[in-house]
Amino acid sequence: MENRKAYIVSDCIVSPFGIGTDETVAALDAGRSAVTPRGGLMKDLEGNDVPVMCSLVPQEVCDALSDIFGPQWTRAELFALGAARGALDGVALDGGAMDDRASGMAEGVRMAVIFSTTKGNISLVEGVGEDCAVPAGAFLWDSSRRMGNFLGYADKDIYTISNACISGVTALAMARRLILSGKYDSVLVVGFDALNEFIVSGFASFKSLSGEICRPYDASRCGLNLGEAAAAILLSERPSGGAVVLAGGSVSDDANHISGPSRTGDALFFAIRDAMSQAGIAPGDVSFADLHGTATVYNDEMESKALALAGLSDVPVQSFKPYIGHTLGASGVIEAVLCARELRRGLMWGTPGFSCCGTPFPVNACAGPRCLEMRHCVKTASGFGGCNAAVVMSLPESAGGSAGNQDGCAAGGHLKAASLETVRRVKMDNETAAEEGFKDDFPAYIREKYRSLGVQDLKFFKMDDMARLGYVASSILLQGLEYGPEDIAVLLSNSSASLDSDLRHQANLDSGKGASPAVFVYTLPNVTSGEISIRHKIKGENTFFISEGYDREKMMEYASLVLAESKAGYAIVGWIDYLRGNFSADLELVRETSCHP
Amino acid sequence: MEELIEQLKSKIIEALNLEELTPGDIDPDAPLFGDAGLGLDSIDALELILILERDYGIRISQEEGRQIFRSVRTMAEYISSKKA
């Protein structure tokens, strides 16, 4: 089998600095920050506007995008389309023309697109209330399908990942696997999010927003800045001028707390370790690391611990957040684009505002630019639900020759899918509840199911309904199974993401009651995977997909790639959805049975 | 004071979704956080800050919260001292 690699052949950023990667690069070269005080995004309990330090895409950029794509798209979609189109039409990174096969334009090239977003068109749920129908566009799969079709992708080749703040890095890790396995030749990864009151008031209720430009890793850091943007990366099995190699990618969960980062940093370390192992590199090979670096006290502490565990404490580290804020579902992609530029230019922009290291373990950050001898870069992200992701990007001349399966299942440069068998399966939905005498009464049904587990866990009652469903279904699924923390991956999907809790959070805002942290924390679907991971102490891969219905075949196909490459021998694969009393869970415990020699 | 304590217990149960508990189950002197008492976490602490702000008009920082939220009684005492 051929020795496939995933090359970053083109990219495009839509940010507050404008449309096109070069606009953002020029701003960073000039040391500019897009973070400024902005009104209209948050109110206090008396209903007064409260200015927030954040990074917004200017109206003229939105207008320009609307002129190109038409008035039918939301702001978030315009960002995504602008970045996607830019990457697809773009020239190769060295300024030359792109190889037709790399760009996906040639006949017979198998193409896919992965959209990565935390909240997509969340602005559409404003004022929906308890009784009105949820607009179709608020469903992430609907938005992805319309955008994907518009860009020329068939329904079956459109994926959506909503995995909190690691969505972008997770999408890159997945894209690499889809290319290495030979399923696709060209994969476009599009990360995007647009800010509104829903998002800003939620983060404010967590007391995690900084009143000034954020200062990652600094002793005086006091929180994050939010931002909005989109970025797209086109990956191809064909190199094109100047292409950087996406040499490794892995995901983990720290099974500690749904909003508080791990106190040990072990799971972020697992993700970094596995991504580096796939890339075939050691700590001494890493030229620099671009971390999540949100500038919250606990995130940055956790990262410093993970760096120490990974042997990377001396490696130059940066965070882009002081320039563009935390752009949520876009962040992993936009930051990977910028890292690829840094690798090629031999220059690292640095972390403005950093002066005195304020983390328990050393972080080799620096406020200004540094010239470095470039070979490999580690890019990470961490997010709510306890999730972590890491990718390794390498200059082509440094990228190793073999990307063989990490756990020794297969030799050579091809990722071979593992064979899977279903060990157990649990299904729960409105029908099964009705059969057991709980027609249209989810609260009573799930409480009864919880009681029959025979556990005492006050946390169960604090969860939203989807997480309760996940908690109970996974507990039944795993009963009596013996495993280690890294033995299980959790790959889930649903249709409504976290819309049920989204509507609750929105209702709090619409009624003037204000954001409740206990509600807002569940406005991400992967918090359900996080609760499952916490309950069962699972630290393996963790990814949440959104699709119209349960596409079991597609989920199993990806599970077979994850199990082939990760330490895990089991995966929880399935569907878990809850919206306004309609629910369904279909979870399977699958086992890796063989490796094709 | 006892009335305020009972009121706080109900508000805490409602805000934190402790639906298995009744006000009678909460010992006003037991620790709210940590494994010994109710086992509340950082998100719960933010909700408690909101209760003070929204229902009693008292703004506190997360740092101050650590002391104030030791138990339901310390919360009640803090509120009365501010209202006095």
Q: Which amino acid is at A166?
A: I
The fold adopted by the segment(s) A7-383 is Peroxisomal Thiolase; Chain A, domain 1 (3.40.47)
CATH of the structural domain B2-20+30-83, one choice from 1.10.1200.10, 3.20.20.70, 3.40.50.300, 3.40.50.10140: 1.10.1200.10
State the average pLDDT over residues A219-248.
94
- A478's enclosing H/E stretch is helix A465-478
Evaluate if residue A317 carries a pLDDT over 90. yes
pLDDT band at A411 (very low <50, low <70, confident <90, very high): very low
Question: B17 contacts in A (CB within 8 Å)?
Answer: 461-462, 518
**pLDDT tens across A319-367, in order?**
999 999 999 999 999 999 999 999 999 999 999 999 999 999 999 999 9
**pLDDT tens across A271-284, in order?**
999 999 999 999 99
Question: A514 contacts in B (CB within 8 Å)?
Answer: 50, 54
Question: A205 contacts in B (CB within 8 Å)?
Answer: 46, 50
pTM passes above 0.90: yes
Cβ–Cβ below 8 Å for A461 and B50: no
Question: B43 contacts in A (CB within 8 Å)?
Answer: 258-259, 462, 517-518, 521
Q: Decide: A571 and A559 in contact? Cβ < 8 Å.
A: yes
Q: Which amino acid is at A405?
A: N
Q: What percentage of chain A carries pLDDT values higher than 90? A: 89
- A200's enclosing H/E stretch is helix A197-205
- Residue A540 dihedral angles phi and psi, to the nearest 5°: -80, -170
**pLDDT tens across A472-481, in order?**
999 999 999 9
Which three-class secondary structure state does DSSP give residue A318? Answer: strand
* Separation CA B40–CA B47 (nearest Å): 10
CB < 8 Å from B in window 233-262 of A: 257-260
pLDDT band at A96 (very low <50, low <70, confident <90, very high): low
Query: Tell me, what's the pLDDT at A406?
Result: 46
Domain with CATH 3.40.47.10 in chain A: 7-383, 419-594
Evaluate if residue A9 carries a pLDDT over 60. yes
**pLDDT tens across A582-595, in order?**
999 999 999 999 75
Q: Which two tokens stand for residue A187?
A: 């994969």
CB < 8 Å from B in window 495-524 of A: 513-514, 516-518, 521
Query: Tell me, what's the pLDDT at A331?
Result: 98
What is the pLDDT tens value at each position of chain B, 84 positions in all? 899 999 999 999 988 888 778 899 899 999 999 877 788 888 999 999 999 998 999 999 888 998 999 999 999 999 999 887
* Separation CA A427–CA A414 (nearest Å): 35
CATH superfamily entry for domain A419-594 = Thiolase/Chalcone synthase (3.40.47.10)
| Residue A283 touches partner B, C-beta closer than 8 Å | no
* Separation CA A280–CA A288 (nearest Å): 16
State the average pLDDT over residues A70-76.
97
**pLDDT tens across A19-68, in order?**
999 999 999 999 999 999 999 999 988 889 999 999 999 999 999 999 99
Evaluate if residue A413 carries a pLDDT over 90. no
Which three-class secondary structure state does DSSP give residue A554? Answer: helix
Query: Tell me, what's the pLDDT at A184?
Result: 96
- Residue A373 dihedral angles phi and psi, to the nearest 5°: -80, 115
Query: Tell me, what's the pLDDT at A279?
Result: 96
DSSP H helical ranges for A293-352? 297-309, 321-324, 331-345
Query: Tell me, what's the pLDDT at A565?
Result: 94
| Residue A43 touches partner B, C-beta closer than 8 Å | no
Could you tell me if residue A370 is left (phi over 0), alpha (psi between -120 and 50 degrees) or otherwise beta?
Answer: beta
* Separation CA A487–CA A440 (nearest Å): 37
For residue B59, what is the nearest residue in chain A, using CA coordinates? A45
Q: Where are the beta strands (DSSP E) in A56-100?
A: none
pLDDT band at A575 (very low <50, low <70, confident <90, very high): very high
Q: Decide: A500 and A464 in contact? Cβ < 8 Å.
A: yes
* Separation CA A476–CA A424 (nearest Å): 10
For residue B57, what is the nearest residue in chain A, using CA coordinates? A45
**pLDDT tens across A486-537, in order?**
999 999 999 999 999 999 999 999 999 899 999 999 999 999 999 999 999 9
Q: Which two tokens stand for residue B63?
A: 């740092």
Q: How far apart are the CA of B54 and the nearest CA of chain A, in angstroms?
A: 7
* Separation CA A213–CA A220 (nearest Å): 11
pLDDT band at A404 (very low <50, low <70, confident <90, very high): very low
| Residue A50 touches partner B, C-beta closer than 8 Å | no
